[in-house]
Chains A and B, each alone.
Chain A
């Protein structure tokens, strides 16, 4: 079989470049380990400064409520001038300003305003911090205000799949998709164009071989390598980050394989189009690095994007894989839920591999 011959040649070539092979096999798992540990969206230890112009028991009690909430670290007592300086330098993220007549207003039953200044540069963090402070102030306020009638409707939230809302359970699947995607695209993006640059492509062309088997033969060894590395990532997420496995392993393997073949195919397609490795690298980076991060629904929810951009996300394979991955490991859902996503992944793989073959065939003739 010609296909096998190509695959064997590639295997041997991968084996010769030890550094590349080791990077492909082990670095992804290490990166996941590092990121899974380092990253989270849980906002704690918000650096808080206090501008207490009242200095009464009531104001101290409000400050204590902030500190005891566990969300804020009191780092400074400031006056108005200091406030600007500390905020400009990012030394504090929030400032609580308690006006001079705070306790008097409370005693006489008037509304007692307090000001919370927030550094809004990171809107997400700011929104969360705002929520924390409003809750704390409301709680403290209840001590003074006459108890109002129970609110007619309360909300009773129940959260499925991730009841403690651990951000690891949300981040880790995204990281798996991201790292697997980059590893796969990167491993094949240079594989054809390198042969073009070095001139060995001419020899391959002479061989009695059609473009399609050449492309498939190139995919197989990298598929083995990237599947091994992806499984490494999955194992790390389960053992170290407590990612559950509520669905079927077989389906996970299927989804992962389809995703990887698509990503490898994308790399090959880039490689068949590019004339130099520099171009191939740049393109690979541009189509995989940021889009997988930002257009896959990993960090930014797709539903919040403008309509036109939502259409673009259909071209990002990680989008489908993420849906399937979350459904399998977190929800334990069956095939009927995400078969369309698997189909899309398969479709993507077929399209990019076909494009790569057609492109090569044209160059050969």
Chain B
């Protein structure tokens, strides 16, 4: 045991000797989390809109004012004819163009039904879908108000109910659980924690070991009386320590700065994070056994582990949207399980009684990769 302790000590000294590395693994996660925390809103706001107002009436100006007042839109320009909107859309200066036809105000006053043309740039399909929804709602609200003002609410007098449902009929009442404000940040930040941990600990450990082999000091360690497991524990423990420091820092920023609700047990969170660290460190060790240079280690971990995990673990793109053939592949990634665990503990406040399948999968994966890595490293250096 003392020998392990000395090895850990040696590693920590080496880490301290490299102040740049130390700064990066401690400071970088926080900087990243803060930036990404602000960026990670899939909420669509300030959609740039150009209006072609061919009517130039009080009504059309009123409508434009409504677009301008909405936090969802920002008016980039008002032109007079629909022909002028092309350059705005082509150049990406506006995502959406609203064409108000001549006679709009008059027809509105006479309550004649009419259609407004909305041209949208579909290259960002998901945002524009949401923006079109905003526009529809805004116009519906406007139309309702105009109708009410004209005193034509008529027999549909009860139509005050929002959502355009009449007095009779079915009335939807939506309740959103776990994240009632529909804040995507609360969903993304726990995910970033998992990802940063993976990026930092896996790479540190894989490159740290490969470097010792490249430089030749691994040979020296091999001839010391250290047993194999002592060597491995001693090499991995310092990185686990660094990972835990990162977890504390990142958790602090997420909870106290971004006010992400942490509804579940902190103890459970740390316990499962330790298991996750076994996975990431085991993966690092495994990568080090299959790479002969640090460059190879880097390529292998980025292209075969990090990238697929980012995209296929449900971090940003929901697994349930993936084709049925791909979905089983996602079970191969420990990140998938840890994401479910983190998000559930944060947002739902559930405990082990619900999360045991994920916890078990994570433990199994960790045990498997560590065993594999240790078996390979024995053969290699023995």
With beta carbons under 8 angstroms apart, the residue of B21, B115, B329 that contacts A278 is: B21
Given the contacts A120-B180, A159-B128, A337-B91, A282 and B203 also touching, CB distance less than 8 Å: yes
With beta carbons under 8 angstroms apart, the residue of B24, B130, B354 that contacts A279 is: B24
Residue B204 interfacial (CB < 8 Å): yes
Of B4-12, B218-226, B315-323, B370-378, which stretch is located at the interface?
B315-323
Given the contacts A146-B166, A165-B129, A303-B46, A127 and B182 also touching, CB distance less than 8 Å: yes
Residues B298 and A186 in contact, CB atoms below 8 Å apart:
yes
Residue B308 interfacial (CB < 8 Å): yes
Q: How near does chain B come to A365, taking the closest CB pair, in angstroms? A: 21
Residues A24 and B176 in contact, CB atoms below 8 Å apart:
no
* Complex contacts, B316 vs chain A, CB 8 Å: 293, 299
Chain B 27-47, CB-CB to A under 8 Å as 1, else 0, gives 010001001101111111111
With beta carbons under 8 angstroms apart, the residue of A126, A160, A303 that contacts B182 is: A126
Chain A 47-63, CB-CB to B under 8 Å as 1, else 0, gives 10000000000000010
* Complex contacts, A141 vs chain B, CB 8 Å: 165-166, 169-171
Q: How near does chain B come to A166, taking the closest CB pair, in angstroms? A: 7
* Complex contacts, B271 vs chain A, CB 8 Å: none
Please tell me the size bucket of the interface on B.
35 or more
With beta carbons under 8 angstroms apart, the residue of B118, B121, B312 that contacts A156 is: B118
In chain B, positions 306-337 with a C-beta closer than 8 Å to chain A are: 306-308, 310-312, 316-318, 320-323, 326, 329
Residues B140 and A276 in contact, CB atoms below 8 Å apart:
no
Of B153-161, B251-259, B273-281, B361-369, which stretch is located at the interface?
B153-161
Residues A89 and B354 in contact, CB atoms below 8 Å apart:
yes
Residues B125 and A162 in contact, CB atoms below 8 Å apart:
yes
Residue A274 interfacial (CB < 8 Å): yes
Instruction: Tell me the complex Cα distance, A90–B163, Å.
Output: 28
Residues A153 and B116 in contact, CB atoms below 8 Å apart:
yes
Instruction: Tell me the complex Cα distance, A194–B296, Å.
Output: 12
Residues B38 and A123 in contact, CB atoms below 8 Å apart:
no
Residues B156 and A333 in contact, CB atoms below 8 Å apart:
no
* Complex contacts, B249 vs chain A, CB 8 Å: none
In chain A, positions 161-219 with a C-beta closer than 8 Å to chain B are: 161-163, 165-167, 169-170, 173, 179, 182, 186, 189-190, 194, 197-198
Residue B172 interfacial (CB < 8 Å): yes
* Complex contacts, A198 vs chain B, CB 8 Å: 214
Residues A182 and B127 in contact, CB atoms below 8 Å apart:
no
* Complex contacts, A186 vs chain B, CB 8 Å: 298-299, 302
Residues A133 and B326 in contact, CB atoms below 8 Å apart:
no
With beta carbons under 8 angstroms apart, the residue of A149, A197, A277, A290 that contacts B154 is: A149
Given the contacts A39-B311, A169-B125, A285-B199, A116 and B161 also touching, CB distance less than 8 Å: no
| Chain B residue, CB-CB nearest to A42 | B321
Instruction: Tell me the complex Cα distance, A118–B298, Å.
Output: 41
In chain A, positions 131-145 with a C-beta closer than 8 Å to chain B are: 131, 133-134, 137-138, 140-142, 144-145
Residues A295 and B35 in contact, CB atoms below 8 Å apart:
yes
Chain A 324-348, CB-CB to B under 8 Å as 1, else 0, gives 0011001101000110000000000
Residue B102 interfacial (CB < 8 Å): no
Residues A155 and B302 in contact, CB atoms below 8 Å apart:
no
Residues B116 and A154 in contact, CB atoms below 8 Å apart:
yes
Instruction: Tell me the complex Cα distance, A163–B298, Å.
Output: 41
Given the contacts A35-B311, A114-B173, A309-B39, A289 and B306 also touching, CB distance less than 8 Å: yes
* Complex contacts, A160 vs chain B, CB 8 Å: 89, 119-122
Residues A38 and B176 in contact, CB atoms below 8 Å apart:
no
Residues A190 and B323 in contact, CB atoms below 8 Å apart:
no
Q: How near does chain A come to B79, taking the closest CB pair, in angstroms? A: 17
Q: How near does chain A come to B208, taking the closest CB pair, in angstroms? A: 7
With beta carbons under 8 angstroms apart, the residue of B41, B92, B108 that contacts A337 is: B92
Given the contacts A161-B122, A337-B92, A119 and B168 also touching, CB distance less than 8 Å: no
Chain B 157-195, CB-CB to A under 8 Å as 1, else 0, gives 001010111111111111111111011101100001001
Instruction: Tell me the complex Cα distance, A278–B177, Å.
Output: 43
Given the contacts A149-B154, A153-B114, A159-B120, A279 and B174 also touching, CB distance less than 8 Å: no
* Complex contacts, A279 vs chain B, CB 8 Å: 18, 20-21, 24
* Complex contacts, B120 vs chain A, CB 8 Å: 157-160
* Complex contacts, B307 vs chain A, CB 8 Å: 31, 179, 182
Q: How near does chain B come to A211, taking the closest CB pair, in angstroms? A: 21
Given the contacts A17-B296, A304-B45, A117 and B143 also touching, CB distance less than 8 Å: no
Given the contacts A294-B40, A337-B90, A39 and B322 also touching, CB distance less than 8 Å: yes
Residue A70 interfacial (CB < 8 Å): no
Given the contacts A152-B143, A282-B203, A120 and B182 also touching, CB distance less than 8 Å: yes
Instruction: Tell me the complex Cα distance, A132–B275, Å.
Output: 39
Residue A286 interfacial (CB < 8 Å): yes
Instruction: Tell me the complex Cα distance, A142–B214, Å.
Output: 73
Residue A88 interfacial (CB < 8 Å): yes
* Complex contacts, B121 vs chain A, CB 8 Å: 159-161
Cross-chain pairs A/B with CB under 8 angstroms, 29 sampled? A23-B303, A38-B329, A47-B320, A113-B172, A122-B184, A126-B176, A134-B172, A137-B170, A138-B163, A140-B170, A141-B169, A145-B168, A155-B135, A157-B120, A160-B119, A197-B211, A197-B215, A277-B211, A277-B295, A281-B207, A281-B294, A282-B21, A289-B302, A294-B40, A300-B41, A303-B47, A323-B92, A327-B92, A333-B90
Q: Which residues of A line the B interface, CB within 8 A? A: 17, 19-20, 23-24, 27-28, 31, 34-35, 37-47, 62, 87-90, 93, 106, 109-128, 130-131, 133-134, 137-138, 140-142, 144-146, 148-163, 165-167, 169-170, 173, 179, 182, 186, 189-190, 194, 197-198, 274-279, 281-283, 285-286, 289-291, 293-295, 297, 299-301, 303-306, 308-309, 312, 323, 326-327, 330-331, 333, 337-338
